[in-house]
């Protein structure tokens, strides 16, 4: 994070307290001290004193005149106080649910909010994506409510030995699933498939420097989302390729009802997860009456504003 440093020889900026300014203005208004004398005594620029006294005289002589609220110094805020309070409440709620956001997640939520409301913020650039400095300033403005802490990661080995955590989880899950039939309880997860078989030891002539094996592989990964319910029914597969563009031949002769997409990395991001939920999973859930449950993990790409 960068911080502003005053340049040498620059004009001094407000080296006085509000109480000192009020005292100097009061002496000038009561004519106990001239404007120049008050400026020299309290080390306040005479233009500041003149503007302040003029503002007070105008407000006292004309009660019907509407005084415009003064703008704060420096850059003006991009969001209103109500909007920033909503972002703070959203961050706290996500942490209470067990899915705490990082600064990058917060910036993604802000970008999604701006895109959906049709707003363009020139400071954020053409992508409408807030910078890290804005996020740090946001945290500084709300330092009494939010704090950035290092999250404690729990390994599978530790979770397996912590029976209290497991028992508590299933007790809460049992209450949430009470009265819901098995066909309305869905669980989703994704897996990553690679066509690279990896390196293996092979038999070659002793002294061979570069043993090679002819086998087609691209080392590209393909992500597959699998979702099924407790009654044994499976939803159509969602396949996500690692590519810049989608080729029509990649969608031929696939599983029935499957949906396809692509990302630069091959992994599920916020947009791909939203596409899977809105266009593939949500129509299935809408066909079922009553309450449904969709269970998944806390991957960062699942923190999607539209899906929530």
CA neighbours within 13 Å on the CB side: how many for 42?
26
pLDDT at 283 over 90: yes
| 76 within a domain of the structure (yes/no) | no
* Mean pLDDT, range 198-204, rounded to an integer: 59
Q: 129 and 96 in one domain?
A: yes
Give 130: exposed, middle or buried? Use CB within 10 Å, 0-12, 13-18, 19+.
buried
Give residue 23's domain range. 18-61
pLDDT at 217 over 70: no
* Residue 12, pLDDT score: 63
* Mean pLDDT, range 165-188, rounded to an integer: 90
- Residue in the block written with tokens 């002769």: 253
Q: Is 225 helix (H, G, I), strand (E, B) or coil?
A: strand
pLDDT at 279 over 80: yes
Burial 4-26 (b: 16+ CB within 10 A, else e): eeeeeeeeeeeeeeeeebeebbe
> What is the number of domains present in the chain?
3
Specify the higher pLDDT residue, 273 or 156.
Answer: 273
Q: 92 and 46 in one domain?
A: no
Q: 89 and 56 in one domain?
A: no
Q: 295 and 241 in one domain?
A: yes
- Ranking 61-65, 112-116, 132-136 by mean pLDDT, the lowest is 61-65
pLDDT at 303 over 80: no
Q: Per residue in 242-258, pLDDT tens?
A: 888 888 888 888 888 89
* Mean pLDDT, range 107-119, rounded to an integer: 91
* Residue 154, pLDDT score: 58
Q: What is d(CA 167, CA 28) in angstroms, rounded to the nearest whole number?
A: 74
What is the 8-class DSSP label of residue 111? H
Among 29-38, 82-91, 187-196, 239-248, the range of highest mean pLDDT: 82-91
Intra-chain end-to-end CA distance of the chain, in Å: 31
CATH of residue 32: 1.10.10
Q: What is d(CA 69, CA 60) in angstroms, rounded to the nearest whole number?
A: 16
Q: 52 and 93 in one domain?
A: no
Phi-psi region of 43 (alpha: psi -120 to 50; beta: other; left: phi over 0): left
Q: 51 and 98 in one domain?
A: no
Pairing of strands 185-194, 293-295: parallel
Q: What is d(CA 285, CA 96) in angstroms, rounded to the nearest whole number?
A: 26
Q: Binning pLDDT at 50, 70 and 90, where does residue 69 land?
A: low
Q: 188 and 134 in one domain?
A: no
Q: 259 and 191 in one domain?
A: yes
């Amino acid at each position: 994070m960068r911080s502003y440093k005053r340049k040498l020889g620059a004009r001094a900026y407000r080296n006085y307290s509000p109480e000192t300014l009020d005292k100097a203005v009061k002496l000038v208004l009561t004519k106990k001290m001239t404007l120049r004398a008050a400026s020299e005594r309290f080390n306040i620029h005479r233009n500041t004193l003149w503007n302040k006294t003029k503002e007070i005289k105008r407000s006292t002589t004309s009660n019907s005149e509407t005084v415009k609220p003064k703008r704060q110094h420096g850059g003006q805020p991009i969001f209103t106080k109500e909007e920033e309070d909503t972002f703070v409440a959203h961050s706290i709620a996500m942490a209470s649910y067990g899915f705490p956001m990082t600064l990058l997640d917060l910036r993604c939520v802000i970008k999604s909010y701006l895109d959906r409301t049709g707003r363009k913020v020139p400071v954020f650039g053409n992508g409408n994506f807030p910078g890290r400095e804005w996020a740090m300033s946001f945290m500084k403005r709300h330092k009494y409510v939010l704090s950035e802490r290092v999250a404690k990661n729990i390994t599978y080995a530790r979770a397996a030995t912590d029976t209290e955590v497991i028992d508590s989880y299933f007790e809460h899950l049992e209450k949430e699933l009470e009265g819901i039939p098995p066909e309305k309880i869905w669980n989703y997860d994704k897996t990553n498939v690679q066509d690279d078989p990896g390196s293996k030891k092979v038999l070659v002539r002793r002294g061979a420097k570069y043993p090679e094996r002819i086998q087609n592989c691209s080392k590209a990964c393909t992500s597959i989302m699998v979702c099924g319910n407790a009654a044994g029914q499976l939803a159509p597969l969602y396949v996500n390729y690692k590519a810049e563009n989608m080729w029509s031949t990649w969608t031929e002769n696939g599983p029935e009802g499957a949906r396809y997409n692509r990302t630069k990395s091959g992994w599920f991001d916020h947009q791909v997860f939203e596409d899977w939920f809105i266009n593939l999973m949500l129509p299935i859930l809408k066909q079922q009456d009553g309450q449904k449950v969709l269970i998944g993990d806390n991957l960062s790409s699942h923190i999607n504003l539209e899906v929530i």
